[in-house]
Amino acid sequence: MEKTLQQRKMVDHTAPNASTGIINGKSSNVLNWDNTRFSWAYPMYKNMLANFWVPNEINMSNDRKQWASLTDDEQETFKKIIGLLAFLDSIQTDYSGQIADYLTDSSLSALMQTLAFQEVVHNQSYSYVLSSLVNQSEQEEIFEYWKHDEVLKERNAFITQGYEAFTSSPTPENFLKSVIYDVVLEGIFFYAGFSFFYNLARNGKMVATSTMINYINRDEQIHVTLFANIFKETLNENPDLDKDKFLRFTEETFKTAAELEIKWGRYIIGDRFPGIPMQDLEDYIRFMANKRSKQLGAEKPFKGYDKNPLKWIRAYQEVDEGKSDFFEQKSRQYTKVSEDNGFDEL
């Protein structure tokens, strides 16, 4: 029978401040940022703090004026994506708190608590956006989409079953698998929706909403890196775990995840938005699945797909490349970007 993970102690007088392991290790649980085991932990914490933002700093007045001028398809897709994001970030808040209980390294536990706070901010942004655009009853209806929309239910179940397997049986195997599902959630399952908002923004539509999406995107990229580091370090620290098995599982999981995201993309975008050709979006999702799988140390689930076919999207995703002043929204970030002035991501 596989061993169960130990929960982190509130305090351990006999253990060192710097932990002896990510899972099932020993630590006093006293956090000293100048005495941590992983050189990347404190820089990541500082980066997360430097990225702090709150939705109310972004002026929604222009989006409010533009909302009625959006097409029916644009409004419907807008609302369905917000409904998806609200669900995913809600369970992400809970999951990050639950996994923190089993991280026996105080610096990683602290990073997870910071991450959880950022997810709460993301959810605040969805409420803030909707309260600016629709009435209360419609906002509540959008937050219920996840219960009734069959395409949403299928892809959400893919994540929740992985998370629930860990929370109901916190073994090292379920821990590592839940981390893979986390990278799927934050590194794949947002990206069809993100492309929709960025396409609106490059056409001068709903720029304030896309500003928030851009900041969420930036946060999620850091979260993916954190979980990828935890995944690889845990395998390195625990040679008794079958590394090849987990890497095969990673590749298979990202293949299925990409297929689910493509199905979602066809459902919410399809051939209704000329700026996002569906074939390019499908190839982009496969490209991102390859990228995330490689980040975890696994093989690519899709042969080829080494280049980003949505070249224009890089200008919207990479908020730290000096292209914008988002809160003032005076930026070439939201000028029309073409394949000629976009560039490859990998």
CA distances to 56, 251, 284, 287 from 304, rounded to whole Å, are 42, 14, 12, 8
287-303 burial, b for 16+ CB within 10 Å, e for fewer? bbbbbbbbbbebebbbe
145: annotated active-site residue: no
Question: Across the chain, which distance is largest between two alpha carbons, in Å?
Answer: 65
**Choosing from 126, 181, 198, 316, which is the catalytic residue?**
126
CA distances to 9, 100, 167, 171, 339 from 6, rounded to whole Å, are 9, 12, 13, 9, 51
Rounded Cα distance, 3 and 172, in Å: 7
Rounded Cα distance, 330 and 50, in Å: 21
207-225 burial, b for 16+ CB within 10 Å, e for fewer? bbbbbbbbbbbbbbbbbbb
Q: Could you list the active site residues?
A: 126
